[in-house]
């Protein structure tokens, strides 16, 4: 499994933000722009907390296993793989969603902060971007925790002759 690269996540964030900003401008020109839900930053924050709790739990279990503590509960490889996949998927979706809310937030910030409802929507969009960044950070931390050590053996093995 390949490790996530922050540049890819930043690219997704920027492309989604630009497309969302353009879409918000177009949508606002033809009618009313849909609002940013208050639940967006809450849900993203909850996902970040779950990812961080998973990473901290697995880190302590791996540390206990490495130190060979009696009664230490190890980490099953399949569970670790599932956690990494969950983290990577969460990071990709969070980059997309944060970019979308970031684009809408920039549009609202530039367009009309004098309307109280739009000002609140701008705050919600900003908090959604911050919560999306927290999801990405927690997912990268989880991925770092579960990264397998590199193989230090660099000597080539000669085939044995029988």
pLDDT single digits (tens) 66-97: 777 777 777 788 888 899 999 999 999 999 99
- Whole-number pLDDT of residue 151: 45
CA atoms of 37 and 82, how far apart (whole Å): 30
CA atoms of 43 and 15, how far apart (whole Å): 22
- Whole-number pLDDT of residue 150: 63
What phi and psi, each to the nearest 5 degrees, are found at residue 2?
Answer: -80, 150
User: How many other CB atoms are found less than 10 A from the CB of residue 16?
Assistant: 19
CA atoms of 128 and 41, how far apart (whole Å): 4
pTM here is 0.84
At residue 53 the predicted structure's pLDDT band, cuts being 50, 70 and 90, is very high
- Whole-number pLDDT of residue 62: 86
Query: CA-CA distances (angstroms) from residue 1 to 4, 32, 89?
Result: 9, 44, 13
Tokens of 73: 């509960």
Q: What mean pLDDT comes out for the span 120-147?
A: 93
């Amino acid at each position: 499994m390949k490790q996530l690269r922050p540049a890819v996540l930043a690219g997704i964030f920027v492309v989604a933000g630009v497309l969302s900003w353009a879409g918000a401008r177009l949508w606002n020109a033809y009618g009313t722009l849909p609002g940013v839900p208050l639940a967006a930053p809450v849900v993203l924050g909850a996902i970040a907390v779950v990812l961080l709790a998973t990473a901290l739990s697995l880190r302590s279990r791996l540390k206990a296993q490495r130190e060979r503590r009696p009664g230490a509960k190890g980490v099953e490889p399949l569970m670790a793989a599932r956690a990494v996949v969950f983290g990577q998927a969460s990071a990709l979706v969070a980059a997309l969603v944060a970019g979308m809310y970031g684009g809408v937030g920039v549009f609202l910030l530039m367009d009309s902060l004098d309307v109280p409802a739009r000002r609140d929507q701008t705050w919600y969009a900003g908090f959604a971007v911050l919560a999306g960044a927290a999801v990405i950070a927690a997912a990268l931390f989880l991925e770092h925790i579960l990264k397998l050590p590199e193989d230090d053996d660099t000597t080539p093995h000669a085939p044995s002759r029988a």
